[in-house]
Structure 1
């Protein structure tokens, strides 16, 4: 089985996870496609499409890639700077669902923590300095600390486990 790992990464988190996934799949059966530079090849059996959520939006190039994958098995992996939850996962699935081809085999979505970009963290810290008692800002600071170092090796292992379990159930 061949896997195309197509990713769109602004902060580097999704790219890091994509490479971690590729490293754990059978040698010579997985290849990477950076959607910022090229299109999906349509040469794989399974497509792992990854992107980061920035301001709650799905990148246009990801939408375009998904549109080309009619009749294919598709997994999504998404990095975000907050604790992945079932509620957040459903929200992202609702945003991406209109861009999945009607005739694809959608296999599911995996959310993964991603380290918050330095410029975003600096902005949060400036807000915290001005409003140290604001609970929303305190929560953002807490989430940023918990996101440090992610995605990591365990995140990549969890992603591959998720993919294998879903494929076994198909």
Structure 2
């Protein structure tokens, strides 16, 4: 089976996951036609990605959905086996990750086979923390703002080696390589 790995990564978190998946595929001796950022529409790279029978597609979380360029590519994956992966600034809740993967999957055509998916937490940009700090400055007793700052700080270590290993193991189990 030919595989492709495509990711949209704003801060580098999802790229890390995609590269870990690419390394694991290569180590298993799998044929990988493309591994990289979402290619431009109509490009040779896009053709290489679409030539695969199985596509591992990942994204950072953009306002509760995947990156727009990845959503467009997902819509072209009819007849393919697809494994979704991604990163989100808020983590620790498997149900939240499952909801996000379900939203990502809505971009797939009905003829695509969703073979599985996995997500992990990812660090966020410093501007996000400043925004949370501003919320707390306006209302020092705001428990929600305090929790958001605590989550931001916890996310700084992600994706961890364990996160990457877990997502690779999930893909390997779901896709059988």
TM category, shorter: 0.7 to 0.9
Q: Distance in 1 between matches of 2:70 and 2:138?
A: 37
Does structure 2 retain, via aligned residues, the 8 Å contact 1:67–1:99? Answer: yes
Q: Name whichever of 5-14 and 147-156 sits farther off.
A: 147-156
Structure 1 residues 37-56: aligned runs within 5 Å: 37=40, 39=46, 41-56=49-64
Q: Report Cα offsets for 1:45-93 as digits up to 9, x if no partner.
A: 3211000112213222112111111111101101001114232134224
- Please give the TM-score of this superposition, normalised by the length of structure 2: 0.84
- In the alignment, does 2:157 pair up with 1:149? yes
Which residue number corresponds to residue 148 of structure 2? 140
Q: Distance in 1 between matches of 2:171 and 2:63?
A: 26
CA RMSD of aligned residues (A): 2.2
Aligned mate of 2:38, from 32, 35, 38: 35
Change (3 A) 1:100 1:152: same
Q: Report the CA distance between 1:125 and its aligned residue.
A: 2.1
Structure 1 residues 21-170: aligned runs within 5 Å: 21-27=21-27, 29-30=31-32, 31-35=34-38, 37=40, 39=46, 41-168=49-176
Q: Distance in 2 between matches of 1:143 and 1:128?
A: 14
Secondary structure of the corresponding residue to residue 99 of structure 1:
coil
Does structure 2 retain, via aligned residues, the 8 Å contact 1:9–1:15? Answer: yes
Q: Report the CA distance between 1:113 and its aligned residue.
A: 0.6
Unaligned runs of 5+ in 1: none
Does structure 1 retain, via aligned residues, the 8 Å contact 2:84–2:118? Answer: yes
Q: Distance in 1 between matches of 2:53 and 2:104?
A: 21
Which residue number corresponds to residue 10 of structure 2? 10
- Please give the TM-score of this superposition, normalised by the length of structure 1: 0.87
Does structure 2 retain, via aligned residues, the 8 Å contact 1:21–1:157? Answer: no
Does structure 2 retain, via aligned residues, the 8 Å contact 1:84–1:111? Answer: no
Does structure 2 retain, via aligned residues, the 8 Å contact 1:74–1:105? Answer: yes
Unaligned runs of 5+ in 2: none
